Amino acid sequence: MINHPHSSISELDKQYVWHPYSSLTDPIPSYEVTSADGVYLRLSDGRSLIDGMSSWWCAIHGYNHPALNAAAKGQIDLMSHVMFGGITHKPAVVLCEKLASISPPGLNKVFLSDSGSVSVEVAIKMACQYWISLGMSRKSRLLTIQSGYHGDTFAAMSVCDPLTGMHHIFKEVLTQQFFAPTPRTKFKEKWVEEDITDFKKILEAHSAEIAAVILEPIVQGAGGMHFYSPQYLIRVRELCDQYDVLLIADEIATGFGRTGELFACNWANIAPDIMCLGKALTGGYMTLAATLCSEKVSDGICKGEAGCFMHGPTFMGNPLACAVANTSIDLLMKQDWKANIDRIQDQFQMRLEPFAAMSTVAEVRCLGAIGVVELHKPVDMRTIQKQFVDTGIWVRPFGKLVYLMPPFIITNEQLGTLVDSMYRVLSNL
């Protein structure tokens, strides 16, 4: 291993490392983190930042958690990885049973993979192979809603918002999917049936071509942080049943309590045919994802020509990741997580209210452990990122959205510091 002084890491980073959604010709500076503990990230220059992002929404228990550390250390001495083809092991079996037991009813078959985007690829592939197995291969396209985000791989990109999403430049090479308008009825607003009209018209006209509907239940994340009515989700479930189309729920960002329900589908009391999980699955320790489906889907696939589901990632069912995921889920379920999320939501409602009076702010909203300040104009990332760091917080906006998804362990005092620091920066825009 080559040892480098901390002072050279930033220069080496600029020379060799390509960060996500970053330019190599005009890069935004990256900050070197040397350690993390609780809700704090420690930089190489000695500064500590309160993390308002949970490392892209996954570190729900914070950093350096003793129970998660112990799970990783205990498993690595047994085996860090074995292939999952023809081999099984306790961490994966226990995890799959656990996921089936806490998920919406009927989702009792679990396919493990490496990342959220791959879990979406798996879900789409499941839906298509299901209809192929039934001799209905024409049902091969997806219906989704605008302002959605489902990942960066190719099938996942095809169901992200085609105009305002991050992947519109690839429109000529992506499968053309069906898009209904973004739900207009907000989370706490009175339901308006016209909100589902265009969605229903697409199903009526194209159900013979549509394999599945895919959407983020209740909260659309990276596509715009929209919170929509549970009634919309109820109507989607009803229409999928009516027109014989599968329903895929992308709970990668919303799963494991983030919205105030264990899964966002629970707000509408519905169960999808297929559900994608990731991010918080391991508490942010390891990369791991899962795609759950009903027996209807698994039986349909396995009784077809192939006789099996045609997918198999190399690191599927990684024992180390599964061991940490089991401990992370246990940590969550053994506490009064719902009361804790309600506490965070109450703090957001109180502390974010002053932002609404700013002339630069279009709307303030929160749900569960998600707080959003939507501006009238996009932020200048190069400027605002440094300002956040200089005030002692880590917040990573995108476009017009300055949002918070902190670790669930954050205290009221830490959350107050986080929001107050954000206020100081935004008040100077």
Written as one string, the DSSP assignment of 45-89 is TS-EEEESSHHHHT-TT-BS-HHHHHHHHHHHTT-S----SS---
Alpha-carbon separation of residue 263 from 185, 292, 302, 343 (angstroms): 20, 13, 28, 18
Is 149 assigned a catalytic role? yes
Nearest to 10 by CA among 25, 26, 29, 37: 29
Strands 393-394 and 48-51: parallel
Q: Which of 122, 106, 97 is nearest to 311 (CA)?
A: 122
Catalytic residue among 21, 190, 334, 336: 21
Q: What is the spatial distance between Cα 200 and Cα 4, in angstroms, rounded to a whole number?
A: 59
The residue from 109, 125, 139, 279 that is catalytic is: 279
Q: Which of 250, 273, 400, 403 is catalytic?
A: 250
Q: Beta-carbon neighbour count of residue 329 at 10 Å? A: 21
Rounded CA-CA distance 207/196 in Å is 16
Side-chain-side CA neighbours of 349 within 13 Å: the count stands at 8
Identify whether 14 is a catalytic site residue: no
User: Is 21 an active-site residue?
Assistant: yes
- Asked if 388 and 47 touch (Cβ cutoff 8 Å), the reply is no
The percent of the chain in helix, strand and coil, each rounded to the nearest 5, is 40, 15, 45
Contact between residue 225 and residue 374 where contact means Cβ atoms under 8 Å apart: yes
- Choosing from 40, 63, 130, 149, which is the catalytic residue? 149
**If you count DSSP H runs as helices and E runs as strands, how many of each does the chain have, helices first?**
13, 16
Catalytic residue flag (residue 403): no
**Active site members:** 21, 149, 250, 279
